[in-house]
Amino acid sequence: MARGILKLQWHDGNQIELLQNGGQFFPALCAAIDAARASVHLETYIFKLDRTGLEVLEHLRLACERGVKVRVALDGFGSFEYVDELMQRLTSMGAMCRVYRPEPRGIDFYRFSLRRLRRLHRKVTVVDGQVAFVGGINIIDDLDDVPNDGKGPRPRFDFAVSVRGPIVPQIDSEQNLLWLRMAPKQGNDMQRTYQRVRHWFLRRQRSLSEHAQVFVPGVRAAFLLRDNLRFRQTIENVYLRGIETASGDILIANAYFFPGMRLRRALEQAARRGVRVRLLLQGRSEYALQFRASRSMYGKLLDDGIEVYEYMASYLHAKVAVIDDAATVGSSNLDPFSLLLAREANVFVKDAGFAQELKAAIEAETAANANRVTLASLQKRGLLGRAIDSTAYFLLRVGVSLTGKSSEY
């Protein structure tokens, strides 16, 4: 899809609340589940049976007891450690559970397949078809497996949004379509059945959107997907269009930053025409290869006039951006996994007030808990550190070549 004719399904009159970290997200999510009357549909990459995961399960159990239809979609890799127990717990309480691309067992577990890299990475919940939650926060405790520098563990830095209004039927419809795709395959007529049901869902979505509650004042928003069928480059193209047309400010907070050449060039050109471009990236190594590969690009980014900051308080898990008066919150990183392989979901908001709220939250965290990267600080990392970074960059590019997209990176 050419960016010049990028078409999005916009919805006006939405109410969107920014939720920072699990401390705001999980109480809002559990309150919505407690208020559910008809349905709860939850999708997540990681569902961990820690304190927070068990609490969410308890709220889902109580919903089932009230007669609410509960569906949970898990990723087979992200939730691998707990998937069997989760399936057992959910089905025993009366919920339905499906696993996206279950991991193979036995000797097959050790065999590489590109299909195993195509994961359900989005984090989306819809309650009663009326309220949706979209963001980057998995079902995992904020303080689980985070670094402790002696001051006590601090939560992952992440965001989600709570959404009401005309955009929710589209989110609900997309969940239903994926749930249908995840159904056990029976017979040779499954594709034809899927297409018939898909058209029914789309007609139903349009009808529900027309009759959904409209908030005044409300905000304009679009639901962005990335998959391997209809929406291969939608999220990337929205980023590109925003960066290419930015006139004042670009602020990106992204956990795994390894963008392709188009995004890198767009950021470079934006900085050259006078736009202030700031990146808040990982300062703590959670996954060494991605962390080091991202660092290898810092010198070029600084030469291009882009400001780079490393988040030091805990793990940075956010996937958000503010570009002038628009903002995006969701699950998509700017790396090959998110942009080439995984199923992702973002909410794109065109509203100056929301954009300013998100911008202020990122700036406050940057001022309090981030270090600015300079050419001098890069030199202090020494030849060995820079060599390791360059090796990680090379290895990640080799990994990208397996997707057939190496020329884009």
Neighbours of 101 (CB within 10 A): 17
Copy the structure tokens of residue 302. 């600084």
Exposure letters 202-214 (e unless 16+ CB within 10 A, then b): eeebeebbeebee
Q: Residue 30 is which amino acid?
A: C
Element (H, E) at 385: helix 382-401
**Going by DSSP bridges, is the β-strand pair 123-127/370-372 parallel, antiparallel, or unpaired?**
unpaired
Catalytic entry in 11, 317, 335, 359 = 317
Cα–Cα distance between 301 and 277 in angstroms, integer?
10
128 belongs to the catalytic site: yes
Pairing of strands 159-164, 131-135: antiparallel
Kindly name the residue from 319, 335, 359, 389 that is annotated as catalytic: 319
CB 179 within 8 A of CB 41: yes
Residues 84 and 98: their CA atoms lie apart, in Å, by 11
d(CA 140, CA 53): 6
β-bridge mates for residue 160, sequence order: 19, 135
Residues across the chain? 409
* Cβ–Cβ under 8 Å, residues 252 and 328: no
Q: Is 123 a catalytic residue?
A: yes
Angstrom distances, CA of residue 267 to CA of 55, 245, 258, 264, 321: 42, 11, 13, 5, 13
Catalytic residue among 50, 144, 324, 325: 324
* Catalytic-role residue among 41, 48, 59, 121: 121
User: How far apart are alpha carbons 338 and 409 in whole angstroms?
Assistant: 14
For residues 17 and 169, what is the distance between their CA atoms, to the nearest angstrom? 17
Token pair 């970290």 in the structure block, residue: 21
Q: Please say if 227 is a catalytic residue.
A: no
Choosing from 59, 123, 335, 359, the catalytic residue is 123
User: Under a CB-based contact definition with an 8 Å cutoff, are residues 12 and 48 in contact?
Assistant: no
Report d(CA 6, CA 238) in Å as an integer: 8
The answer to whether 126 touches 171, Cβ cutoff 8 Å, is yes
User: 7 catalytic, yes or no?
Assistant: no
Annotated catalytic residue, options 12, 50, 69, 128: 128
| Amino acid (one-letter) located at 302 | L
Catalytic residues: 121, 123, 128, 317, 319, 324
